[in-house]
Amino acid sequence: MDTGKVIIVTGAGGGMGKAVVAKLLGEGSTIVGLDMNKEAMKDIKDSKFVSQQVNLLDEEQVRDVFKATFSKFGRIDGLVNIAGIAQSATSIGDVSLEQWNRILSVNATGVFLTCKEAVHYMKKGGSGVIVNVGSVSVARPRPGLQSYIASKGAVEAFSRALAIEVSPDKIRVNVLHPGPADTNMLGQFSSVKQQEGGLNKEVFKNSVPLGELIQPDDIAEAVSYLVSDGSRMVTGASLHVDGGRGL
Ligand SMILES: NC(=O)c1ccc[n+]([C@@H]2O[C@H](COP(=O)([O-])OP(=O)(O)OC[C@H]3O[C@@H](n4cnc5c(N)ncnc54)[C@H](O)[C@@H]3O)[C@@H](O)[C@H]2O)c1
């Protein structure tokens, strides 16, 4: 099976990223995985997978990898922005400007830089699809995550703004908001004190109306839909995969 599609996935070495890459590879797409942690991508073994170590904060690296992908494959059909960093729950008075800037830079500026490149190449191809990962916390905040939530709110607003801008170019842009998900990141949302006591998954699980943590495969299913032609008339949308946490 070969969809003939070339899709760039950021955060490909992370919990959700690996599941998304596996799903899209299984459907027959070629995947270029970007992550600053190259080691984390080394167990993805597939002739249609290319891993690239990229720090999304480095504009030149981002520009180069999109250019190289387009030169090699002649097309970029999709971009799935999964890379991100958490915030350990902290009262605003204890958040430094440096911490705020770092979270905004990775989560929001990283999305801006990759989308900018993707749109450039998708216009050449005449169509494209972008999925940016936000967070249910934008709709349903937890205390102490103000910087993280601001960064994900920016992702949502930016995606909607970009969706209207690039609709005439047949490029779709959607946001996927996960709820508490069973990955390494989950424990990183707890305060430093809570983290010392170890991750209590039950607390997160109990906050989900459907009573379970979101699994990386749940995210992969939703991404698969959003990059497929089955969602051809869906753009500027926010899809919650959160077990009802946002309600
Ligand atoms: N896990 C959750 O409960 C949860 C809930 C809501 C939203 N999210 C969001 O889902 C996405 C994926 O999260 P995950 O749970 O798979 O986390 P993860 O920590 O397993 O994966 C994140 C990946 O992003 C990469 N990354 C971080 N900064 C980078 C940078 N500057 N350049 C390149 N790569 C970078 C990391 O190396 C890592 O592989 C994130 O955007 C996260 O904010 C997660």
114-146 tens-digit pLDDT: 999 999 999 999 999 999 999 999 999 999 999
Domain ranges of the chain: 6-241
User: Which helix (H) or strand (E) element contains residue 51?
Assistant: strand 49-53
Return the SS3 of 216: helix
Which neighbouring-strand residues pair with 9? Answer: 33, 80
Residues 6+ positions from 116 with CB-CB distance below 8 Å: none
Q: Is the CB of 17 under 6 A from ligand 1?
A: yes
pLDDT in tens, 208-245: 999 999 999 999 999 999 999 999 999 999 999 999 99
What's the pLDDT score for residue 90? 96
Would you call 148 a catalytic residue per the annotation? yes
Which amino acid residue places its CA nearest to atom 38 of ligand 1?
14
Q: Is 162 exposed, middle or buried (0-12, 13-18, 19+ CB in 10 A)?
A: buried
User: Which helix (H) or strand (E) element contains residue 172?
Assistant: strand 171-178
Of 182, 169, 98, 174, residue with least CA distance to 130: 174
| Residue in 49, 148, 158, 204 annotated catalytic | 148
Q: How far is the CA of 152 from the centre of ligand 1 (A)?
A: 12
Question: Does pLDDT of 1 surpass 80?
Answer: no
Residues 6+ positions from 246 with CB-CB distance below 8 Å: 136, 139, 140, 177, 179, 240
Phi, psi of 9 (to 5 degrees): -120, 120
Q: Is the CB of 106 under 6 A from ligand 1?
A: yes
Phi, psi of 47 (to 5 degrees): -65, -20
pLDDT in tens, 33-51: 999 999 999 999 999 999 9
For range 109-117, the mean pLDDT: 98
Q: Ligand 1 atom closest to Cα of 219?
A: 10
Taking the model in full, what pTM does it have?
0.98
Measured from the Cβ of residue 212, the count of other Cβ atoms closer than 10 Å reads 13
Pick among 2.60.40.420, 3.40.50.720, 3.40.640.10, 3.30.70.100: CATH of 6-241? 3.40.50.720
Q: How far is the CA of 168 from the centre of ligand 1 (A)?
A: 31
Q: Is the CB of 185 under 6 A from ligand 1?
A: yes
Of 92, 90, 101, 85, residue with least CA distance to 195: 90
What's the pLDDT score for residue 192? 83
Q: Is the CB of 129 under 6 A from ligand 1?
A: no
Q: Is the CB of 183 under 6 A from ligand 1?
A: yes
Which residue type, as a one-letter code, is found at position 89? A
Q: Over pLDDT 90: what percentage of the chain?
A: 93
What's the pLDDT score for residue 195? 82
Q: State the chain's mean pLDDT as an integer.
A: 97
